[in-house]
Amino acid sequence: MTDKIASLYADHIHTVRERWDRALAETGFDHALIAGGSLHGAFLDDQTYPFFVNPQFKAWVPVVDNPNCWIVYTPGRKPLLVYWQPVDYWYKPADTPTGFWVDQFDIRILPDETKASEHFPRSGKVALIAESDGTVKGELNPKALIDYLHFERAYKTDYEIECIRRANVRSARGHVAAEHAFRNGDSEYEIHLAYLRAADSTEEEVPYPNIVAVNKNASVLHYIQHLRIRLDEPKRHSFLIDAGASYNGYASDITRTYSRRNDEFQKLIDAMDDMQQSLVAAIKPGVNYPDIHMMAHRKVAEIVVRFGFVKDLDADGVVKKRISSVFLPHGVGHFLGLQVHDVGGFSADKHGKTIPKPEGHPYLRLTRKIEPSMVFTIEPGLYFIDSLLSELQKSENAKYINWGKIDAFRKFGGIRIEDDIAVTKSGHENLTRPAFAKVQRAAKAAAARRRPSPSKKGRSARK
């Protein structure tokens, strides 16, 4: 596995260098200075916030937990990594870089962060990709260069797709453990901890705060409270978990929803799962991503009519009157990679031109045409959100709603099903479903190894 990552990385860094060569040439720069980022102190405190690395930095190197590092790049020269490694006894310094990627860089160890500039270019026009820093010479985050790089980020290298694939496996382990914890009666907080343990991650290492929502909390799209209250069996109805993992700085983003019982809500989950898979099946090069989003609205409309939440309207009427947006208020997905909501989702070209969102759909994060090597999520939802339902109840569309049925389902909160999809030359690869299958196969194999053989059982009984 390591050899595969190493060979893929060599091609990846070649692609990254080519992109920067073109971008710097087109925008008139001789050099690039890319900051890894720095620690930020908490207000009126002597502690710092968790460190978040600059995404443009980790596109070059899988260094995600060491601040005050720099990439110095001049086209035609080997990239330089200025690597912070102070002499310190208060905190453990980062280890000296090793592994599959180090041969691609001229690495300079930096004991004193204030002396990083000794390794910077002395002449020429410099593009500085960093947070605001008046101490470093260079044009800070030039828009033309950023627009170019963000457009190119949509096309993932094989190395990047492999990292996202492995992040999916890590996340799938957490999801399986989380479902087990929910069915065991654990609190949201305990489920959250079970996920982190199984995903081999700390809270700072996961790519976004885990959404662990029991019952009605699932109607809050970004619910991150993690309540410590254990609910008795009759009071536990549903569970939604939206949680990812990271591998070499690349994110997975997966959501699953479960019912506590084999009831009508479970049938609704099954319908949404089938619907989500039909959206995935429609993905291929040449399709406009907003068309997938609108397809999701059409299919959610079909489901709310079929399950009796809406009456006296067909699916087309539900979409036309924008009732589907009450049940599905967010976009159907987004680019995925170095960031969970990866950049370039609206880019029409490398020069900053954008593609507008469909009218009436302000939260869609991706409007581009689908092309090979793109990676994005497909995550339709169906929710019972009190505030949106209250607005609907006051509107002229209230007459089309079966309010008794709606009230019976508020306790479940809602449903979201999310997979990560890589686009191929002829179609797509679902990175998430095989990850779950791999984890489940490994769990069965481990259980079989722990189970004593029949012959051993017999000998034990004779003893």
| 419 membership: H or E segment, kind and range | strand 419-423
pTM attached to this predicted model: 0.95
Q: Is the pLDDT of residue 453 over 80?
A: no
Contact 308, 286 (CB under 8 A): no
Domain end marker among 152, 174, 196:
152
Asked if 87 and 166 sit in the same domain, the reply is no
The pLDDT tens digits of the residues spanning 239-276 come to 999 999 999 999 999 999 999 999 999 999 999 999 99
Within 10 angstroms of residue 160's Cβ, the number of other Cβ atoms is: 26
Q: Does some domain include residue 454?
A: no
Which of 124, 152, 180 represents a domain boundary (last residue)? 152
Residue of 26, 95, 17, 99 whose CA lies nearest to 60: 17
- Closest to 152 measured CA to CA, from 51, 273, 42, 15: 15
Q: With contact defined as beta carbons under 8 Å apart, do 340 and 254 qualify?
A: no
Element (H, E) at 238: strand 238-243
Question: What is the CATH classification number for the domain harbouring 135?
Answer: 3.40.350.10
Q: At what angle do helices 188-198 and 158-183 cross, to 10 degrees?
A: 140
In a domain, 461, yes or no: no
Per-residue pLDDT tens for 69-85? 999 999 999 999 999 99
205 occurs within a structural domain: yes
pLDDT grade for 136, boundaries at 50, 70 and 90: confident
**Residue 261 burial (CB count, 10 A):** 11
Distance CA 21, CA 2 (A): 28
Mean pLDDT of 187-196: 98
The residue to which tokens 């095989």 are assigned: 434
Average pLDDT of the chain, as a whole number: 96
CATH code, 326? 3.90.230.10
> In total, how many domains does the chain have?
2
Domain shared by 164 and 287, yes or no: yes
Q: Is residue 303 part of a domain?
A: yes
Cβ(268)–Cβ(257) under 8 Å? no
The answer to whether position 50 is within a domain reads yes
Q: Do residues 132 and 176 both lie within one domain?
A: no
**Type of residue at 418:** E
The answer to whether residue 460 is domain-embedded is no
219 within some domain: yes
User: Do residues 111 and 172 both lie within one domain?
Assistant: no
Residues 134 and 181 in one domain: no
Pairing of β 375-378 and β 419-423: antiparallel
Q: Are residue 148 and residue 29 in the same domain, yes or no?
A: yes
pLDDT above 60 for 67: yes
pLDDT above 70 coverage of the chain, percent: 97
- Which residue, of 130, 152, 174, is where some domain finishes? 152
pLDDT of residue 359: 95
Q: Is 48 helix (H, G, I), strand (E, B) or coil?
A: strand
Statement to judge: residues 20 and 129 lie in one domain: yes
Which domain, by its residues, includes 72?
2-152
> Residues 182, 64: one domain?
no
Q: What is the Cα–Cα distance from 46 to 159, expressed in whole angstroms?
A: 39
Residue 231 has pLDDT above 70, yes or no: yes
Query: Collapsing DSSP states into helix, strand and coil, what is residue 224?
Result: coil
Based on the domain organization, do 128 and 148 belong to the same domain?
A: yes
Residue 1 has pLDDT above 70, yes or no: no
Q: Are 290 and 426 in the same domain? A: yes
Residue 462 in any domain: the answer is no
Q: SS3 of 169, please?
A: helix
Q: Whose structure tokens read 């290492």?
A: 205
Beta bridge partners of 128: 33, 140
Q: Are residues 205 and 225 in the same domain?
A: yes
Which residues have C-beta within 8 Å of that of residue 364, sequence separation ≥ 6?
290, 293, 331, 332, 357, 358
What does DSSP say about strands 126-129 and 106-110: parallel, antiparallel, or unpaired? unpaired
Number of other CB atoms surrounding residue 369 within 10 Å: 14
Task: Indicate if 139 and 179 belong to the same structural domain.
Answer: no
Q: Report whether pLDDT(460) > 60.
A: no
Give CA angle at 336 (41, 362), nearest 5°: 90
Mean pLDDT of 435-450: 92
Question: What pLDDT was estimated at residue 462?
Answer: 46
Length of the chain, in residues: 463
